[in-house]
Each structure stands twice: as C-alpha cells, then as structure tokens.
Structure 1
Amino acid sequence: YTITPRRTIEKVNQDAEWIFGASVVEAALKANHRTLYRLYIYAGENRTTASKERDSYLKKLARQRNVEVQEVTDSGMLESMSSSRPHNGYVLEASPLRKIPILSLLAVDIDKSNFGLQKAQHDFTGANQTLAEIPGFLPNRTPGRYPLILMLDELLDPGNLGAILRSAYYMGCSALMVTERNCAPLSPVCLKAAVGAAEFMPILTHVTPPRLIKDSQEKGWKFFAAVPPIADASKDKLKKYLSVQDQEVREALNQGPVVLMLGSEGDGLRTTLSRMCDKYISIPSALDVYPGVDSLNVSVAAAVLVQGFVGGARSLGSKVDNSAAQDTLW
C-alpha cells in the first residue's frame, strides 16, 4: 500500500511545539508557565457527550488565557501534529517548557519553607532566559520537613522521564533535576507520559554534576545514590549502604535536605558520581527472583525510593494553594 506522507501544519510561532492529550493540555492552560498560541479541538460527529463537556471546559480555560481556539473536523490534522500519538482530540501550540539552569543548591531557610539556588550566569538551555528571569529559590513541598529533590543522570528514555516526573510531583518532591547534555529532552512524548505534572514541577538543569554535588553538600544537602542491592560487602562498606525500608531513610528529611540520584536505564548511576554520594540506597527483592528479572524499571524504582523518604508526609499542595508562589518563581 502507499503510505500517505504526514502533513506539515503551519504554526503561529515556528519555535513553538505541539503538546497533546487532555491532561497535558489542561495542565498547560492552568499552569501559566508557557506562551500559548492556539488550541485545536476535534469537533467530529463521533464526539461523545463527555468529550463535548470537556471541550467546553478547555475552551473556557483558553479564553481566560486569551488563547485562540480552532475546532477541526479533520482528525488527520491532529494526527499530523501529534505524530500519530494519542491526543484525545486536543492539541495545543505552545512555547517549550523552560528548565531552570543552576550551578548548585543553596541552604534551606530556617523555617524550611524555601531553599536557595545558585543560578547559572547564563542560560545554557537555549531558552534565552535572562538572569533576572531565573528564580533564586523554590518552595519546599514537604511542610515541617526538609525538601527532597530527585536527580537524574544519563536517563535517555523520554517515556521514563515523563513517568518519573509524574511520580515525583504526585509524591511531593520539590523539584526534578537533570543533567543538561545527557538526559532525555522534555519532548511531547515525555510530557504525555507525565500527564501534566511537568507543567507544575520545577525542573532544574546543570552541566557539571561533580561540581553541583560538591557545592550542594557544602550547603547541607545529603546525596543518596540508587544502586542495586549487594549480597556481600565488608562491614565498613555496609555502613554506607541502606535499604529503602531502613529507619534512617524514613527519618532523613527530618535531619536535612536530600537529593536522591538515579542513573541510566541500563548501567545505573555513573561510578564517578555515586562515589561522591553520602549514602547508597537500594530496593530489596524477593529471595526467589530469577536472574534477568531481578531489577525494576527506573521509573518504578524512583517511585518506590521516593516513597521511602517521604512516607506519609503530605505536600504543601494538599493543604495550601501554592500556585501564586510558583507563578512568581518560574
């Protein structure tokens, strides 16, 4: 058969991107962290009553943001915009989501409400942010305890990145941190997997992980490196190894701010980075697992490890409307 070539749809702004899916589009309209150009909504005859109700709601959000709405009956147009990925009848043309370029993490406020950022002196993300536009601090999402940040290095699968973003935001991490040059991009595939969480989660980025770790440790941050469980080790070495089930992990956020580090899907965290950490942390397996199925997907492992730190702690968002503070920050 003959493959029909994907159509080229002209954008309002050529630097913009297509984001798609009901949850992603709704989050982008609510978060106010992007420049939004045009919302496309499928208006075919097969639209269900529930879909039409959601259409009206998203149109209302778009009008509040002064975003143009265009209804289309040609599903192929939306398929071209989403590269044939599921879009639920919604595609939004928007500026790319900005990351926050930093050199290191700074100290946490005495009342634990915020923590500082050592801003990069120039925007290496390509977003052309001025120094004044880069925030100097972020709110702590675990009230009464110190913040937890999830740090990723050499994570290449955008689907995994999106899934980790979703879990990290849901469970109360104060930010996600990536290495700028060796992690998956915030692509539409990543954003779809994050189901809107990327619009609300601060995403920090840096270019020199060893320097960031060293300088952040000097400001009181403890780094925990995710590693496989070890079967045999010396007594001295075991002092540095923790299980996600250990009391020290559950109490860590009562003692100081924490960065949980995870590496690539295949090889894990680079040795040069894991050696710099304060502790190693692992997830114990059942005793009878077979070789070859004795590990977890990195996004699943991230969620289990984060739960080990936050436990039953609830984020600020569960009781306090933090949207105004976030709007002023990034």
Structure 2
Amino acid sequence: MAGNSQRKGAIRKSGKGNPTAGSGGRVKRGLEGKGPTPKAKDRPNHKAYKSRQRAEAAAARGPRKRVAKGGDSEWVAGRNSVVEALRAQMPVTGLYVAEGTERDGRLREAFHLAAERGLSLLEVPRAELDRLTGGAVHQGLAARVPPYEYAHPDDLLDAASEAGEPPLIVALDSVTDPRNLGAVVRSAAGFGAHGVLIPERRAAGMTAAAWKTSAGAAARVPVAQAVNLVRQLKAYQDAGCMVIGLAADGDVSLPDLDLADGPLVVVVGAEDKGLSRLVAETCDQLVSIPMAGELESLNAGVAASVTLYAVSQSRRGARS
C-alpha cells in the first residue's frame, strides 16, 4: 500500500533536524573515539571486576558464621578423651567431675590444662554426670563442647583473597567418618589450604571426634557447609576456580596435573563409593593418584593429604 511505512522494506522519511537523515548525525557520532579501554577490574563482565566486588562485599559484611542446625552441646567423656580434647584445643566450655572421683595423673593434667585456659570446673553427683553424658563411661570426668560454628562457603574464597593467594579448597563428597574429616582438616592446615567444604546432609560434621583427629587444626582452618554441594562447586567455578575430583579412573594422573598453581577446589569422595555421579560430572577434571600394587583406593584423609602435598609442591615450584 502506497505510503505505508510499516511494511517490510519501507523507508521512513525524516524531517529536518532528524539525526538519522543526511550524512552526519548518528553515523558521524558512531565513528568518534570512546576513550581508553577500561581496566579489567572496572569492566562489569570481567572476572577481575566480580572478584573485586566480592572482596568489597566481604569487607562490608564482616565474617559470616552459621551455627550448626539443631546443635546441642556435645560431651567428651572419659579421662583420656578429655585430656586429648584439651590438648587439641577443642572449644571446651567446662569440665565436670563426679563427686568422690579419685585423683590420678590424667585428672590432674586435665585440671591443669583447664586452669591454663580459664575453664570452669564443676563437681556434680555421679548420677547427674551419668545423665548429662547419656550413660557414657566417663570415669568421673567429662567436658562440655558447644556446637561447631561453620563458616559460609564464600568465606573460604575471602580467606584466600586476604592472604593474597590463589584459593585452595578441599570439598568432601559423602564422607561420613568424622575421623576422616578431622584428618582432612589437619592436612588442609599443613599444606596451606584455605578451608574445607562439606555437605550439610549425609556427611560427617565437626563433632568431638573430628576435632580430636584434627589435632588442633580445626581451630585454624575454617570448615563450611553447603546445602547443595554441586551448586556450590558451580559457584566456585563461576568465581574462577577449577574443580578437580579424585577418582581411580581419572583422565589425568596427579603428577601431570597442570592446574595446581591456579585457583583450585579438590573434591574427595568416600573410599567405598567414590564421587557421586553429579559431582563427578561437575568437575573440570578427574584426577587419579598413581598406586603401586593391588591397592585400589585410599581413605579420604590419606587421599586428600597426598593430593594437597602435590599441589603445595607445584605451587612452591611456581613461586620460585
């Protein structure tokens, strides 16, 4: 239809002063320079910009902690166990001794360690201590431990940023033995990891057993909980981390790993089942630990220790 400027291919005529008409206007302005290219940290779509934003947000909010859900205080019962707990710097809030308990060397050491830390000492009837500890064999001595305060998963990235180092995080997939968790925390402290990530459900938590196995490292290395492990691993990937999973049939052998000196998350599965399918599919690489002989697998604590040692050696070589 004549004069119908809405049909396909029609040319819209403009009046005077319209910048779309003639040889100037928008075309001319489009050819003008736009100044120097902004720095990476000032470009919203660049990783450096997102990293800076995250660091600024972390500084503004301060440290974030979440108390374990449903967390009642735990009890460490027995003279040897209490002494070990105090030596391991567990966050004991008080010592309870049954009335009439015979004093021996272990009891005196427990009292001495408690006094050094300014812990309260309460003497209670034996029946009351039986009730408090749920009928455990306490030998007249028990220690009360508050629920563990878990870090937020982003706090582990913040710890690396504050240290001026590429993040190194250990994530555990379906590891249910608290002693394995404690061993991983101990290795994380020994080899410079910035924290340990565990799932909120169907996994070991930071119980008294995990604390004792960590030999005090749990006081120095933050442990974070994730509601959904796969989702949190993807969040770490979005933050610039490479995620590797340990698997017997991994595509890359640990000595050949070339990602060790960059931002890294190491995922360790249970000894019997290994990594779950979704976690394995989320990993950027599956890495195997070379083994001699017929031994097929290592427990989580040992596997994490071997891998973190290899990563620390690679990072030390990259710095030198």
Q: TM-score, normalised by structure 2?
A: 0.63
Letter in 1 for 2:104: R
Distance 1:173 1:82 in 2: 37
Cα contact 1:41–1:55 (8 A) shared by 2: no
Q: How far apart, in 2, do the equivalents of 1:139 and 1:225 lie?
A: 20
- Give secondary structure in 1 for the equivalent of 2:94: strand
* Aligned residues between the structures: 241
The superposition leaves residues 264-310 of structure 1 with CA deviations (integer Å, 9 ceiling, x where unpaired) of 23211112111221111111111x42xxx422122211111111111
Does residue 283 of structure 1 match 2:281? no
1:181 and 2:201 aligned: yes
Name the CA shift for 1:115/1:162 in 2 (closer, same or farther; >3 Å). closer
Please state whether the residue corresponding to 1:151 is helix, strand or coil: strand
Q: Which residue of structure 1 aligns with residue 73 of structure 2?
A: 16
Q: Once the 2 structures are TM-superposed, how far is the Cα of residue 222 of structure 1 from its aligned partner?
A: 0.8
1:155 to 175, 181, 184: 175
Q: 2:233, 2:282 within 8 Å by CA — same for their partners in 1?
A: yes
Query: 1:185-232: CA deviations, max 9, x gaps?
Result: 3222333322332233211111122322222212111101110046xx
Give the match for residue 100 of structure 1.
151
8 Å contact 2:195–2:224 — kept in the other structure? yes
CA distance in 1, matches of 2:161, 2:97: 36
Task: Determine which of 47, 63, 68 is the counterpart of 2:120.
Answer: 68
**Superposed CA offset, 1:33-60 (max 9, x none):** x6x5422368965623x87356323312
The correspondence of residues 139-150 of structure 1 with structure 2, limited to 5 A, is 139=160, 145-150=165-170
Identity score, percent: 28
**Contact conserved, 1:225 with 1:277, CA < 8 A, in 2?**
yes
CA distance in 2, matches of 1:80, 1:246: 53
Cα drift, residue 71 of structure 1: 5.8
Task: Give the counterpart letter for 1:201 in structure 2.
Answer: V
The alignment status of 1:245 with 2:255, answered yes or no, reads: yes
Q: What do the CA deviations read for 1:40-85 (whole angstroms, capped 9, x no partner)?
A: 368965623x873563233121x2xxx31136897x9589839757
State the alpha-carbon separation in 2 of the partners of residues 300 and 183 from structure 1.
Answer: 18
Residues of 2 paired with 1:209 and 1:91: CA distance? 35
Match of 1:39 in 2: 95
Asked if residue 214 in structure 1 is aligned to residue 234 in structure 2, the reply is yes
Shift in Å, 1:152: 0.7
Instruction: Note if contact 1:223-1:259 (Cα within 8 Å) is conserved in structure 2.
Output: yes
Give the one of 280, 298, 310 matched to 1:274: 280
Distance 1:78 1:22 in 2: 19
Change beyond 3 A, Cα 1:73–1:152: same
Q: Deviations over 1:71-129 (max 9, x none)?
A: 6897x9589839757x8986321320111244xx4xxxxxxxx864xxxxxxxxxxxxx
Alignment-derived partner of residue 59 in structure 1? 115
SS of structure 2 residue aligned to 1:21: helix
For normalisation by structure 1, the TM-score amounts to 0.61
Q: Distance in 2 between matches of 1:18 and 1:187?
A: 10
Q: Which has the higher helix share?
A: 2
* In structure 2, distance between residues paired with 1:156 and 1:181: 10
CA RMSD of aligned residues (A): 3.6
Provide closer, same or farther for how the CA distance between residues 312 and 273 of structure 1 changes in structure 2, counting only shifts above 3 A. closer
- Which protein, 1 or 2, shows the higher relative CO under an 8 Å CA cutoff with sep ≥ 6? 1
Return 5+ residue gaps in structure 2 as ranges.
Answer: 1-70
**Is the contact made by 1:243 and 1:281 (CA closer than 8 Å) also made in structure 2?**
yes
Q: Secondary structure at the match of 1:191?
A: helix
Aligned CA distance change for structure 1 residues 167 and 115 (closer, same or farther; 3 Å): closer
Alpha carbons 2:184, 2:304 under 8 Å: kept: yes
In structure 2, how many angstroms separate the alpha carbons of the residues matched to 1:40 and 1:267?
41
1:149/1:69 CA distance change after superposition, 3 Å: same
